[in-house]
Chain A
Amino acid sequence: MSAPTSPLSFDVAEQMAKRTRWTPLEIAFWIAAFATIYFLPGRHLILTEIVIWALFALSLDLILGFGGILSLGHAAFFGVGAYAAGLLAKHGIITEPVLALLVAGLAATVLGFVTSFLVLRGSDLTRLMVTLGVSLVLREIANRYSDITGGADGLQGITMAPVLGLFRFDLFGHTAYIYSLVVLFVLFLLARRIVNSPFGLSLLAVRGNPLRASAIAIPVNWRLVAIYTVAAGYAGIAGGLLAQTTAFASLEVFSFDRSADVLLVLIIGGIGYLYGGLIGAVIFRLMQDWLANITPQYWQFWIGLVLVIIVLIGRDRMGAWIRPVRDLIDTLGGRLRIRASGGER
């Protein structure tokens, strides 16, 4: 950042720095997340699933919470990532998982860039239909070329090479969990940097009012293309992680249910502050697990009921309960910081 020359630019710099500052709550969240590696070793399989859902929901948050694009076909990118990672490993093209994951993400990114032009036009309904249509078309393609994708049977016979050539995937999913969590953390840092940058602020302006945003010289369409592309890459990496950690990919990765579920995950956690997807993933997966234990076949009913209730109560009111807690911790953190800086003086 350049040296502040006038009070205004100084204020702006101050504001921007304040946005990017880590709150104690955030630090505590990540410490807790990494602590599970040691404290919950028996739960690493389900935790890996949670991490993948979290990453997928994070990607949806980028386009819905920051781009304001309503998508019912986000599974398209997830699926492309999953099949890309699966095929790369199966045919031994790129055996090293991290590199393969990057390539899978790249494939989804390219698809995201191409299809992003489709969502620029039209109303919410048109976007909804187009995104849904894209994921359905991809599903049909995957089904059609069953000699490559395995069709309805899924992509079988994937063997994963050790991560970075050092860490082998084990039966209990320890490596898979640590690997996924690190990927999530790195991508989260990147997303956090993106949304707190001037670029992220301009996205919020676009979401608030595209017309006014364009009046203050924000290229609305390019902003949407950019965030949609990035989010597609994120979804692709989430899909790639799923294929790598489970050594399997099936047509289910493209399904409408997956697109709807990820929307639910994000809604449970809350839209537009990045942690929504992460928190939502934990609650969603635990709830799903719990419901599936009670009613093995009909848990979908209760998921639907949760959605209906969330909407009827109102999403903003749902998020309200967490606000006092956040405020309290922010104030506490602020006091601590002032005391610390006071001590330095």
Chain B
Amino acid sequence: MLTILFDGIAYGMLLFVLACGLSVTLGLMNFVNLAHGSFAMAGGYITVVLVNRMGLPFLLGLPLAFLFSAALGALLERTLYVHVYAKSHLDQVLFTIGLVFMSVAAVDYTMGSSQQFITIPSALQGQIDVFGVGVGRYRLLIIGICAMLTIALQLVLVRTRFGSRLRASVDDQRVARGLGINVGAVFGLTFAVGSGLAGLGGALGAEILGLDPVFPLKYMIYFLIVVTVGGTSSITGPFLASILLGIGDVAGKYYMPELGAFVIYSIMIVVLLLRPQGLFTRQSAR
């Protein structure tokens, strides 16, 4: 029972790191980015290449995965995404689905279609006992890293000048622009960091979520659930949503395996119907 809870929390934290970039993209630019999972996949695969083939230590691979995905995100944001911000939602959906298809086929072509595994150092394998509960070391690491990241993100968002600029831009883009905030630059940087976090999540989660070319399609709906259920106005909303989703999914698969993901999807539909703005949102002025 406690093990399930623990696994669920680890899973949820992972989902949060994967999806928090998307929540900013949606909240800030009102941009439907279905290709978010592609950045996560890029992070996962670069770690596979670095750790398995070039023999770098796993813990060094993680920050490199972050950097790689962030650079990729920044590049695509500046060259392609900027042209699509002002277009309709239909165009955004088409554009990002196109990117997903391209990334799936490109990874399939370069890395093969089989599932990839990252070699984890033996110190991180196995279980340790915490108060009589068997706890996977790797999952403990995930929780640790993700918790630190979450706190860091919260601090950046609340305490720094960049954070206040970002929050101002999310709240009202036009007024923020009028106050002299370079919304485009704020967004570009946030997009890069969000993609980087997704990449890190992809690298960390390869062990739990699995890593194959259809990763972006498989987890797209999960990212979207986190964001839409959690709302886009704060970082705590998506965080709580992803923890709930993680625990719900793990518990659902354990107790009612025959139902599969059915429960999650149904709950999502109901939540969206009752609270179209998400579960944890304050009433916005708009």
Contact = CB atoms under 8 A, between A and B. Distances in A.
Contact of A144 (B84, B95, B102, B259): B259
Interface residues of A, number: 43
A140 B265 contact: yes
B98 interface: yes
Contacts of B102: 300-301, 304-305, 308
Contacts of B89: 70, 124-125, 128
Interface residues on B, range: 35 or more
A80 interface: no
B283 interface: no
A301 B273 contact: no
Contacts of A134: 269
Contacts of B90: 64, 70, 124
Given A308-B99, A308-B102, A311-B94, A136 B265 contact: yes
A303 interface: yes
A18 interface: no
Contact of B269 (A118, A256, A300): A118
A123 interface: yes
A308 B97 CA distance: 8
Contacts of B172: none
Interface in B240-266: 258-262, 265-266
A130 B262 contact: no
A156 to B, nearest CB: 22
A301 B106 contact: yes
A130 B229 CA distance: 12
Given A123-B276, A263-B97, A300 B32 contact: no
B32 A144 contact: no
B186 interface: no
Contacts of A122: 272-273, 276
A70 B93 contact: yes
Interface string A268-297: 000000000000000000000000000001
B91 A301 contact: no
A143 interface: yes
Interface centre among B84, B97, B228 (most CB of A within 10 A): B97
Interface in A123-167: 123-126, 128-130, 132-134, 136-137, 140-141, 143-144
B108 A298 contact: yes
Contacts of A312: 80, 83-84, 95
**A-B interface, 6 closest residue pairs, ranked by CB to CB distance from nearest:** A307-B98, A304-B101, A301-B105, A122-B276, A304-B102, A308-B98
12 contacts: A121-B276, A124-B89, A130-B269, A136-B221, A143-B260, A144-B262, A260-B101, A263-B93, A263-B94, A300-B102, A304-B104, A308-B99
Interface of A: 64, 70, 72, 118, 121-126, 128-130, 132-134, 136-137, 140-141, 143-144, 256-257, 260, 263-264, 267, 297-301, 303-308, 310-312, 315
Interface of B: 26, 32, 80, 83-84, 87, 89-95, 97-106, 108-109, 217, 220-221, 224-225, 228, 258-262, 265-266, 268-269, 272-273, 276
